[in-house]
Structure 1
Amino acid sequence: MRRAAILVALTGSLAAADSSRKVAPVAAVEDSCSDGSGTACKRHALDGFAAALAAQRAGTAAHPLRISYVGDSLTADDQITHALRTRLAALVGDGGPGFTFAAPPHPYCQHRTVTRVITGPWRVHGLSKGAPPDHLLGLGGSAETVGGGTIRWVTKTPVTRIDIHYLAQPRGGSFAVLADGANIGAIETTADRKRAAFAQLEVPEGAKKIELVARGRVRLFGASLEAAKGAVVDNLGVVNATAKQVVTNNHPEHLRNQLARRGPDLVIVMLGTNEAEWIAAKSSGMAEHERLFGDLLATVRAANPKSSCLVVSPLDQIDWRVEAMPARESIPAMVDAQRRAATARGCAFWDTYAWMGGTGSSKQWFKRGLVMKDFQHPTTAGSTRIADALYRALVTP
């Protein structure tokens, strides 16, 4: 359905913003073979997403178009993900907020289509902060209480169903589910052993306020909040997250089960911002990063073999702590390592480092208001450009 390299003329790229500037090269999303057959490839990495998008546009899809976006602080503020969410909603309709954590796994993790209110003595766990000893973190974070408490989500648009991810465990408590104040379910979490559990409930028409009221010992991972159709983009970005933390702080089988339940049509992985600060270009650390990245992608592929996965590379970085402010040398090597891991696991790859201009391009982005003064994190305008480029790559036949 799609060729091994999808060349997309990204008018949203840096150069297209002003015709007087040097024209940037055309971006390329490398759509690798996902069935291991090489030149006789029958299935490419993005075929599953392309089919799901076509079904959504034709009105024949059984559920909303789902994208789960795994990332670090570049996506945790929900700017890239929300911009992508907005573009897709304009194309096929608003499918709701998608998955939202029970509690932010880091104080700076956000979701721009949900207002969250938490009351009671909840203990929050996250990939990069306070992972629990059992390494059961849902899709990246959890909230646990032994004395009861309430988690309330208020969505900007109505949803029709909620799918709650929680932990069943010995001596587990219970929680009630309310929609606009009306009780729509009561869930007991007691089990003979710890295991991931899920509860899907229909939400009354027009409801926007969902509350989970816990009693006793309850651990909640989060919930997907969806409409019957449209597009959803899950923001699974966690501040300070690394590929190693995703693999080692969250049990791989547990993560696989969580992703399988979520059933995304596309998983996007964008990690490396943090590791680039301490992993040298030619080092055992970079080899470990490639191995761990491959392990993460293997978990993603095993969870939903017919779905798609896409690796979005790290952006260019400038080491502003050094007087000469050199470009960070680890980035090109990390991009290559992630490309190899993506190809080996049957995932597509987008070299955003090359797309934004390569070595030192972060300085130019800063001058144009597209990246913050740390030369790492995109501004709202920069995030929108990245999301726009990604959108064009995904929806162009």
Structure 2
Amino acid sequence: MVFKQFLPRKIFTETAPATKNVVVDSLMLEAVQADSIADEKDTLTNTRINFAAVNGIKFPAENFDDYKGYQHLVLFYEKLLQLETKKQGKVRIAYFGDSMTDGDMIVKEFRSSLQNRFGGEGVGFVNITSESAPSRSTITHQFSSNWKTLSYLNVKYPTKPFGVNGHVFFSKKDTIDPAWVKYKANNVAHLTMLNNPTLFYGRSGNKKGSVNFIIGKDTLHKKLNAVNAVNTLSIGKGDLKAFKAQFIATDSIPFYGFNFDDGKGVHVDNFSNRGNSGLPIATFNTSVMQSFNDKLGYDLVILQYGTNVLNYGSLNYTWYERKMARVVEHLRKCFPGVAILIISTADKSTKYDLEMKTDSAVVPLTRAQKKYAVGANAAYINLYTLMGGDGSMVKWVEEVPVRANKDYTHFNYRGAQKISDLIYTQINNGYEEYKKLRGHKPVEPKAAEVKKQDSLIQKTDTTHAE
């Protein structure tokens, strides 16, 4: 009864079924209840945004309407420059998203573009279990049914902290058929091997746990030492094509996933969750995230949300702006020194008077996302305008070549590739501007940097099927 006047007509706009008792709903309803009744005061229209220099580099001032915030990516751009000019260092990106990036959609091509140019081999961090595993083309991922999965979308206070992927996994006690997970590299550029497979797991009083790594006809037995908030266990066999891991007597030990990278160039971790608004990130345990960061070393965090925030009964998104500003503030505590990039919601169409048109909530939401990006000193990409603005989703669905699904919300594989190209191009434009400010002359792309196309046949995915 308390929330009745604030309840939206639709909780989820996605085609995939909502997870039962999803926490994000309560977080959003709390935010609406507390903030949406306040009038939104727009003080940024026609505002000139000036920047403070970082390491002697200062981008020109921007108008709010055209805001991109390249200034806030200076440290990230410098890391890329060291990679490009001196082949030194490495760069890691955490890409958080909702169903738009499910199954490595968008992120796959984004990762490939960066690795083509700056180097790097490996798919990055992969969960123990995943609802999108059957549709993911960048790695073959299988797992047994005797895993217990806790997500920050459906559990507010987990028995053990969530990992950087927003999940924590427990093997169910089974002495006959122990829990297992399998990974196999696919025929995709830069992802043809499982580079330096490393297991991430948490603290536990269990001192008997171990893992059997089955590699071809060989079995490697390794003990677990769950003494720290975040622990790692390397297989120690270098790059592998495939392996199976059996978890022996590991009940009560929290597991997070495996990381695959060669330690050079650029690596992009895809942390997607269907039904996510972005707000659950605020529940991350700061010290645990800092431990993950010590081992993985993030330089950029990308937040691409909005699909699940549209159509909440109001065009006033002040509540979301405020909550996400706090999410960004929290991320900076979790990953000190990290740059933040906000990617807005894409266009979405709804039927008005028997005609599909841009949903009336899209523009107000993108504006709220830009406002919290400006206020939080984060970079910003307006995906809605990049894909064509008003009415663009209708064109992507109905014109040839088809780039989006009949739900007028999600992209198909062709559309996801185009979206990735748009995102990469804007980031790269800022990088090229940064190089000019640093006094570097433009370098013509080498033939080896031309984007490769993988020949892998895409897997069936009812969420993203064309």
Query: TM-score normalized by structure 2?
Result: 0.69
Structure 1 residues 132 and 307: CA distance shift in structure 2, 3 A = closer
Partner residue, 1:388:
421
1:256/1:303 contact within 8 Å kept: yes
1:54 aligns with 2:66: no
Distance 1:254 1:287 in 2: 30
Distance 2:124 2:408 in 1: 30
Distance 1:179 1:295 in 2: 44
SS of equivalent to 1:168: coil
Deviates more, 1:334-343 or 1:313-322: 313-322
SS of equivalent to 2:229: strand
Distance 2:62 2:241 in 1: 39
Report deviation, 1:266: 1.6
Report deviation, 1:293: 1.0
Report deviation, 1:366: 1.4
Match of 2:385 among 351, 354, 358: 354
Deviates more, 1:127-136 or 1:229-238: 127-136
2:160/2:254 contact within 8 Å kept: no
1:85 aligns with 2:111: yes
1:178 aligns with 2:213: yes
Alignment of 1:262-273 (within 5 A): 262-273=296-307
1:308 aligns with 2:339: yes
For the aligned residues, what is the CA RMSD? 2.9
Q: Which of 1 and 2 has greater Rg?
A: 2
1:126 aligns with 2:151: yes
Report deviation, 1:239: 0.9
Match of 1:330 among 361, 384, 394: 361
Partner residue, 1:340:
371
SS of equivalent to 2:275: coil
What CA deviation, in whole Å up to 9, does each residue of 1:58-101 have, x standing for no partner? 354344x3221100000012120001122222212342010111
Please tell me the residue identity of whatever aligns with 2:220: N
Please tell me the residue identity of whatever aligns with 2:225: E
Distance 2:424 2:255 in 1: 32
Report deviation, 1:118: 1.1
Partner residue, 2:442:
none
1:243 aligns with 2:278: yes
Structure 1 residues 383 and 237: CA distance shift in structure 2, 3 A = same
Please tell me the residue identity of whatever aligns with 2:366: V
> Which segments of 5 or more consecutive residues in structure 1 lack a partner in the other structure?
8-26, 33-43
What CA deviation, in whole Å up to 9, does each residue of 1:102-151 have, x standing for no partner? 111x3568543221121251112223345663473212223211314112
Please tell me the residue identity of whatever aligns with 1:238: N
Please tell me the residue identity of whatever aligns with 2:114: L
2:94/2:270 contact within 8 Å kept: yes
Distance 2:182 2:305 in 1: 30
Please tell me the residue identity of whatever aligns with 1:58: T
Partner residue, 2:59:
3
Distance 1:75 1:69 in 2: 9
Structure 1 residues 292 and 91: CA distance shift in structure 2, 3 A = same
1:174/1:186 contact within 8 Å kept: yes
What CA deviation, in whole Å up to 9, does each residue of 1:282-339 have, x standing for no partner? 2xxx222112211221122223333322110001111249734342222212112111
SS of equivalent to 1:387: helix
1:112 aligns with 2:137: yes
What CA deviation, in whole Å up to 9, does each residue of 1:167-207 have, x standing for no partner? 21244752326373452742133x5xxx7312153642342
Please tell me the residue identity of whatever aligns with 1:294: A
SS of equivalent to 2:181: strand
SS of equivalent to 2:264: coil
1:141 aligns with 2:167: yes
Distance 1:317 1:99 in 2: 30
1:320/1:374 contact within 8 Å kept: no
Report deviation, 1:237: 0.9
Match of 2:225 among 188, 197, 213: 188
Q: Which structure: greater strand fraction?
A: 1
1:2/1:46 contact within 8 Å kept: no
Alignment of 1:138-287 (within 5 A): 138=163, 139-147=165-173, 148-156=178-186, 157-171=192-206, 174-176=209-211, 178=213, 180=215, 181-183=218-220, 185-189=222-226, 196-201=229-234, 203-216=236-249, 217=251, 218-248=253-283, 250-251=284-285, 254-255=288-289, 257-259=291-293, 261-282=295-316, 286-287=317-318
Match of 2:407 among 374, 379, 383: 374
Distance 2:58 2:407 in 1: 37
Q: How many residues align?
A: 357
Question: Percent of aligned positions with the same letter in both sequences?
Answer: 20
Distance 1:205 1:301 in 2: 33
Distance 2:134 2:304 in 1: 15
1:176/1:185 contact within 8 Å kept: yes
1:95 aligns with 2:151: no
SS of equivalent to 1:370: coil
SS of equivalent to 1:169: coil
Distance 2:212 2:331 in 1: 30
1:166/1:198 contact within 8 Å kept: yes
Report deviation, 1:247: 2.6
Please tell me the residue identity of whatever aligns with 1:268: I
